[in-house]
């Protein structure tokens, strides 16, 4: 309350002062208006009486003048009339008026001398009243009188001005009353608004920060948005988030020390990398950017694309003030960059530079949709979709890779011994392009998709150029050892180079490229579930939202891509319901399928096939309040997907071929209750680590149907044992460990120029 009064009291004083000043102005203005009105009426009346009095003077009869002044001396506020000759002698006067007049009103003398009307206001002390109590303020107005065009006297009108002061007093009273009421109302309203918009939220925020500081759980404060409070809310929220993150990291580190564990965290990665880099700059280049800016009406909104790569690499760039080069794909991306297409990110705590590259629709169609996703993607995934290789797409792929390389070289122009980490199959030529210009740079590329055997990759008309581009790197990373083996075999067959199988390296023209497996993973949050039946509660909520009735939910989360085995999954579900009709009206499978690459015919047609297959199976089995498959063909946030993970009895990953598939690891990481079953394709890279999943061949529909039945019937004890083993693996081999091993191996490589000099 004291703080509120400190804010409101100056406002009360200010409002009261302004009201008083305005009241004074109002009184002064009212007095001026009334006096001017009286003076004007006196002039008009004198002008109207002048001719009549001049006629009476012409007759020379004083008796007529006395009757005249007596007749016109009874008007409103008019105390009387007096007629003077040129010697200032009274010729006639309204009875009782003489005591209120000065002996010689100056207005008469001036009017006769100047030959025009003149008036003045006389205060009480200038009147000739016998007693001070009889003295009244008056207004006198004199009008010259003529005979034969000569001034022979003057007419004097005397008005009582006492009514003016009475009206002014009333005005002053009303103004002061209004000022008092306005001050009280404005002060009360200000008091409420200050408490509502400022002191109340500020008190709640202070309490919230205090509870956070002391480590007590507390809900998010309800702060009003807009203006200064919104900025304060924004900054305090980030401060609280940083405090919470620091406390969580400290708790994790403390637990790790107690258990002698070596779990990698974002903080540990940042600290270790900062020590290893020794102020050497780090550059990341990828097709996808870590932050997108899009228009939301007239405003610009920041979006963080769902990507494990962003999760893994951002702590690295935060630690070393690095630079991330990527293609700008947001509708408002151009609006926020500077003249060099640079932007400091993250928005709430700018710590590294994002450099954007711009692609036209035609360039994107040839480089990304064409060669990358209609050529390399189906070539590397054994999903029986024929790759399409067009010469014009290859030309665009070369041009765009060169543009990425030129931009990277421009960014690292002033850096000594820079470190570059390129990402994925979109940029296979960049390592060689950069290395040719900057042989002192350490260059690595991580290939996020599978690498097929040599016979399959030999289909590509430009396999030699792609391999040469990759071999420009000092280090090439794949998900699993099999992909490393396939790559070395491809190099063996397609290029003249020394393949060193004993240390998994390729030596060509004096340059050595190491080939290593680095299984990518996800972030693992150390927070055990505090709600024992969270799966049941979430399942009930999701069923209500989807307007279905079911006691069991299964979930699949994929981009709608032909490598994910979604159609095979649906057919296995159909087979399951045929063999287990008792699960009809009890079990529903939810397929979250984000549309992907819909500019490509194969993907657009696949989306239609998936929709049609789900509808066909639903038409066969569904009832009024139940359906076997719910297909949610739209993009979902991480928070939305997490609810399905935690509510599902099992998660199904049936990839026909996958480098890793992080959905499997995300599901395991989300199950803090240590329940649920993972059905996992043996053709996904994750199957090499998560052997406690129910491993299936997605092409074997009956086997997958049996796995679904086993997952639904699995005892809780077995679920817990399997999930605990898988969670331990994902916890230990998290995304920060992936980044640490990849980057640490890269930093240990000697610079190419030194190697050549020694040779």
Per-residue pLDDT, averaged over 331-339, amounts to: 94
- pLDDT (tens digit per residue) in 151-180: 888 888 888 888 888 888 888 888 888 888
Q: What is the tens place of the pLDDT at every residue in 95-139?
A: 877 765 665 678 888 888 888 888 888 887 666 554 455 567 888
Residue 260 included in any domain: no
Task: Answer with the one of 144, 165, 186 that is the final residue of a domain.
Answer: 165
Identify whether 460 is part of a domain: no
In a domain, 471, yes or no: no
pLDDT of residue 758: 39
CB within 8 Å of 166: residues ≥ 6 apart: none
Instruction: Please check whether residue 589 lies inside any domain of the structure.
Output: yes
Q: Phi/psi class of residue 353: alpha, beta or left (left: φ > 0; alpha: ψ in -120 to 50)?
A: beta
CB distance 611 to 633 below 8 Å: yes
Residue at 120 is within a domain: yes
Last residue in a domain, options 133, 165, 197? 165
759: confidence class by pLDDT, cuts 50, 70, 90: very low
Provide the pLDDT for residue 378.
96
Residue 86 clears pLDDT 50, i.e. is over it: yes
Query: In angstroms, rounded to a whole number, what is the distance separating the alpha carbons of residues 422 and 543?
Result: 43
Least confident range from 56-60, 125-129, 197-201, 697-701: namely: 125-129
Could you tell me if residue 17 is inside a domain? yes
Is residue 394 within 8 Å of residue 280, measured between CB atoms?
Answer: no
What is the DSSP secondary-structure string of 496-516?
A: --EEETTTTEEEETTEEEEEE
**568 has a pLDDT exceeding 70:** yes
Pick the most confident of 45-54, 261-270, 661-670: 661-670
The predicted structure's pLDDT at residue 502? 93
Specify the pLDDT at position 213. Answer: 62
Q: In which domain, by residue range, is 668 found?
A: 534-733
Q: How confident is the model at residue 251 (pLDDT cuts 50, 70, 90)?
A: low
Mean pLDDT of the chain: 86
The pLDDT of residue 618 is above 60: yes
Higher-pLDDT residue of 654 and 155 is 654
> Does the pLDDT at position 380 exceed 70?
yes
Tokens representing 1?
């309350």
Q: Taking residues 383-395, what's their average pLDDT?
A: 94
Tell me the C-alpha distance between 577 and 621, whole Å: 8
Confidence at 242, pLDDT banded by 50, 70, 90: low
Segment of 96-100, 399-403, 497-501 carrying the highest mean pLDDT: 399-403
Give the largest Cα separation in the chain, rounded.
148
How do residues 439-485 score in pLDDT, each as one tens digit? 999 999 999 999 999 999 999 999 999 999 999 999 999 999 999 99
| Pairwise CA distance, residues 479 & 153, whole Å | 122
CB neighbours of residue 6 within 10 Å:
10
Across 6-10, 434-438, 646-650, 663-667, least confident range: 6-10
In angstroms, the CA 172 to CA 168 distance is 6
The C-alpha atoms of residue 323 and residue 341 are separated, in whole angstroms, by 12
**Among 113-127, 321-335, 668-682, 699-713, the least confident range:** 113-127
3-state secondary structure 271-330: HHHHHHHCCCCEEEEECCCCCEEEEECCEEEEECCCCHHHHHHHHHHHHHCCEEEEECCC
What CA dihedral angle connects 150, 151, 153 and 155, to 10 degrees?
Answer: 110
Q: How many CB atoms lie within 10 A of CB 551?
A: 15
Distance in angstroms (rounded) separating the CA atoms of residues 46 and 54: 12
pLDDT at position 257: 53
Residue-level length of the chain: 759
Residues 667-690, mean pLDDT to the nearest whole number: 96
- Count of domains forming the chain: 2
Q: At what angle do helices 266-277 and 227-259 cross, to 10 degrees?
A: 80
Q: Which CATH number covers residue 56?
A: 3.30.450.20
Query: For a pLDDT cut of 90, what percent of the chain falls above it?
Result: 53
pLDDT higher than 70, residue 757: no
Counting Cβ atoms within 10 Å, is residue 197 exposed (0-12), middle (13-18) or buried (19+)?
middle
Specify burial of residue 714 (Cβ count, 10 A radius: 0-12, 13-18, 19+): middle
Task: Say if residue 709's pLDDT is above 90.
Answer: yes
Q: Is residue 280 part of a domain?
A: no
130, 165, 200: which is the final residue of a domain? 165
Mean per-residue pLDDT, 511-526:
92
What confidence category does residue 87 fall into, taking pLDDT thresholds of 50, 70 and 90?
confident
pLDDT (0 to 100) of residue 109: 84
CA 36 to chain centre: 63
Residue 539 belongs to domain with CATH number: 3.40.50.2000
Does pTM top 0.85 for this prediction?
no
Q: Is residue 746 very low, low, confident or very high in pLDDT (cuts 50, 70, 90)?
A: very high
Pick left, alpha or beta for residue 160 (phi over 0 → left; psi -120 to 50 → alpha; otherwise beta): beta
pLDDT at 412 over 90: yes
pLDDT digits (tens, 9 = 90+) for 714-731: 999 999 999 999 999 999
pLDDT at 227 over 50: no
d(CA 528, CA 381): 37
Task: Please list, in sequence order, all residues whose beta carbon lies within 8 angstroms of the beta carbon of residue 650, skipping any fewer than 6 positions away.
Answer: 554, 555, 676, 677, 678, 679, 708, 711, 712
Judge whether 693 lies within some domain: yes
């Amino acid at each position: 309350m004291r703080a509120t009064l400190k804010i409101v009291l100056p406002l009360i004083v200010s409002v009261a002062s302004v009201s008083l000043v305005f009241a004074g102005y109002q009184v002064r203005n009212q007095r001026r208006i009334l006096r001017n009105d009286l003076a004007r009426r006196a002039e008009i009346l004198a002008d109207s009486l002048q001719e009549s009095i001049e006629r009476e003077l012409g007759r020379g009869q004083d008796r007529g003048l006395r009757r005249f002044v007596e007749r016109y001396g009874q008007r409103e506020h008019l105390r009387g009339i007096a007629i003077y000759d040129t010697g200032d002698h009274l010729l006639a006067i309204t009875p009782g008026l003489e005591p209120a007049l000065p002996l010689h009103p100056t207005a008469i003398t001036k009017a006769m001398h100047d030959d025009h009307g003149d008036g003045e206001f006389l205060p009480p002390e200038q009147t000739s009243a016998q007693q001070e109590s009889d003295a009244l303020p008056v207004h006198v107005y004199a009008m010259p009188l003529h005979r034969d065009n000569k001034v022979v006297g003057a007419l004097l009108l005397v008005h009582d001005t006492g009514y003016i002061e009475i009206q002014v007093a009333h005005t002053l009273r009303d103004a002061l009353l209004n000022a008092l009421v306005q001050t009280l109302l404005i002060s009360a309203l200000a008091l409420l608004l200050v408490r509502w918009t400022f002191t109340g939220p500020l008190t709640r925020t202070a309490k919230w920060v205090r509870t956070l500081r002391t480590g007590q759980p507390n809900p998010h404060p309800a702060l009003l948005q807009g203006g200064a409070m919104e900025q304060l809310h924004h900054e305090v929220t980030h401060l609280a988030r940083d405090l919470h993150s620091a406390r969580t990291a400290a708790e994790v580190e403390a637990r790790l020390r107690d258990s002698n564990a070596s779990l990698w965290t974002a903080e540990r990665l940042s600290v270790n990398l900062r020590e290893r880099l020794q102020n050497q700059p780090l550059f990341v280049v990828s097709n996808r950017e870590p932050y997108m800016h899009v228009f939301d009406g007239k405003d610009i909104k920041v979006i963080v694309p769902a990507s494990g790569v962003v999760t893994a690499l951002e702590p690295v760039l935060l630690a070393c003030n690095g630079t991330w080069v990527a293609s700008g794909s947001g509708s408002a991306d151009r609006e926020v960059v500077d003249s060099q297409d640079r932007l400091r990110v993250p928005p709430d705590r700018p710590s590294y530079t994002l450099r954007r590259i711009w692609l036209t629709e035609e360039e994107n169609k040839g480089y990304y949709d064409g060669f990358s996703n209609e050529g390399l993607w189906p070539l590397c995934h054994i999903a029986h979709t024929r790759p399409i290789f067009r010469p014009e797409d290859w030309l665009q792929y070369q041009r765009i890779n060169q543009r990425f390389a030129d931009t990277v070289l421009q960014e690292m122009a002033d850096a000594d011994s820079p470190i570059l980490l390129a990402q994925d199959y979109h940029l296979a030529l960049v390592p060689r392009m950069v290395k040719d210009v900057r042989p002192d740079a350490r260059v690595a590329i991580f290939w996020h998709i599978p690498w097929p055997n040599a016979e399959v990759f030999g289909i590509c008309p430009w396999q030699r150029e792609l391999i040469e581009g990759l071999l420009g790197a000092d280090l090439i990373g794949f998900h699993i050892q099999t992909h490393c083996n396939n790559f070395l075999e491809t190099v063996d067959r397609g290029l003249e180079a020394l393949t060193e199988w004993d240390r998994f390296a390729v030596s060509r023209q004096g340059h050595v490229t190491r080939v290593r497996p680095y299984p990518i993973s996800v972030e693992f949050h150390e927070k055990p579930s505090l709600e024992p039946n969270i799966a049941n509660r979430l399942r009930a909520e999701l069923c209500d939202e989807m307007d279905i009735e079911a006691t069991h939910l299964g979930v699949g989360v994929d981009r709608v891509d032909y490598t994910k085995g979604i159609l095979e999954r649906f057919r296995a579900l159909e087979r399951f319901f045929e063999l287990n009709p008792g699960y009809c009206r009890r079990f529903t499978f939810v397929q979250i399928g984000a549309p992907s690459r819909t500019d490509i015919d194969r993907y657009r047609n696949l989306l239609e096939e998936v929709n049609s297959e789900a509808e066909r199976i639903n038409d066969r089995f569904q009832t009024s309040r139940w359906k076997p498959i719910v297909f949610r063909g739209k993009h979902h946030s991480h928070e939305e997907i997490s609810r399905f993970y935690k509510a599902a009895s099992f998660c199904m990953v049936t990839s026909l071929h996958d480098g890793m598939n992080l959905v499997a690891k995300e599901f395991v990481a989300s199950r803090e209750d240590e329940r649920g079953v993972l059905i996992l394709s043996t053709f996904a890279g994750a199957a090499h680590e998560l052997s406690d999943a129910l491993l299936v061949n997605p092409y074997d529909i009956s086997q997958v149907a049996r796995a679904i039945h086993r997952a639904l019937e699995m005892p809780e004890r077995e679920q817990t044992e399997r999930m605990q083993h898988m969670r331990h693996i994902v916890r230990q081999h998290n995304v920060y460990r992936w980044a640490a091993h990849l980057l640490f191996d890269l930093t240990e490589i000697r610079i190419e120029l030194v190697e050549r000099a020694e040779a």
